[in-house]
Structures are given as C-alpha cells and as structure tokens.
Amino acid sequence: MNPELEDLYQQVLLDHSKRPRNFGALTDGAVQVHGDNPSCGDEIDLSVCFGPEGAVEDIRFTGQGCAICMASASMMTLKLKGRSRLEATALAEAFHTLITGGNAAPDRALGDLQVMEGVRKFPQRVKCAMLAWRAFDQALTIHESTDRPTTPP
Ligand code: ZN
C-alpha cells in the first residue's frame, strides 16, 4: 500500500476511535450484549434493536478499549444500521475475511471498514477488531431465540 493511502487509513481509524459514532445505549426492547477481550482490556456493551425479519433498526455501543476496538465498533454500527439480517450477516462475514483472510481482496461493500485490513498482520489485534462483531453475532442469536413468529389471527 502506498504511504499516502496508509496515512489516510490511519486518520480514519483515529477519527473513529476518538469520536466513536453511535456511542450510547438503546433501551426499549433492544438486545444487550456485553463483550470483552481480556488479552487487551477491551470491553464493550452493544445494544441492537431488531425490526421485522431481524433487520438492524438501530445499533449503539458503549465501552472502553484500544483504538482498533473502538474504531471497529464505531464503523460497524454505521455499516450495519438499517441493514436486513441477510446483509448484516454477509457484512460480518466479509469483515472477518478482511482481517483474517490471507491475501483475499477486500470486499468493496465494506466501505470505510477496509481500513482495518492492516490488522491481519497483527494476530493479537484481530480479537480487538472482532470484539464488536462477535457481540453483534451474539445479539443476532439472542434475537432469534426469543423472536417467536406470531400466529396469524
Ligand atoms: Zn484492543
């Protein structure tokens, strides 16, 4: 990667870690998940409001962690908000591939999240980058186990 681009990526990361987007908690009917990464000291609380069919209606997080963890969580909420269940799951998979997937080309659907690609060179930081995404995955599972289809009248 050329140095200018790397510089730009660094700025995006720093910006998100210093001013995380969608920072806060949701209350009404939101699924709450706590995630931590003891090897680094990262902790986040994710709240997700699911709509019909498991669409991500709203998503917020709070917590404390390293720049990689916070930036990943911040960018994740921006990316997943308003997505259908299918889109959100596909993005989560694409992100996992991005930061662990050898030389696979980044999925363009990830947008700004592609700045996290450099994490794959630092295996111990992969957990930091994945923390919010693992929490989202857990939120989906919780939602699915509680979301009983309503019987038509
Ligand atoms: Zn970390």
Per-residue model confidence as pLDDT tens digits over 119-141: 888 888 999 999 999 999 999 99
Distance 53 CA to ligand 1 centre (A): 32
Nearest by Cα to 77 from 134, 133, 148, 33: 133
Q: Report the distance separating Cα 6 and Cα 21, nearest Å.
A: 22
pLDDT at 108: 87
CB 60 within 8 A of CB 52: no
If pLDDT is split at 50, 70 and 90, which confidence band does 7 have? confident
19-77 confidence digits (pLDDT tens):
999 999 998 889 999 999 999 999 999 999 999 899 999 999 999 999 999 999 999 99
Could you tell me the domains of the chain? 3-146 (3.90.1010.10)
Asked if pLDDT for residue 147 goes beyond 80, the answer is no
Supply the pLDDT for residue 80. Answer: 98
Rounded to the nearest angstrom, the distance between the alpha carbon of 40 and the centre of ligand 1 is: 5
**Cα(107) to centroid(ligand 1), Å:** 24
Q: How far is the CA of 63 from the centre of ligand 1 (A)?
A: 12
CA dihedral 115, 119, 121, 123 (to 10 degrees): -170
Take residue 49 and report the two structure tokens written for it. 């409001």
What is the Å distance from ligand 1's center to 29 Cα? 29
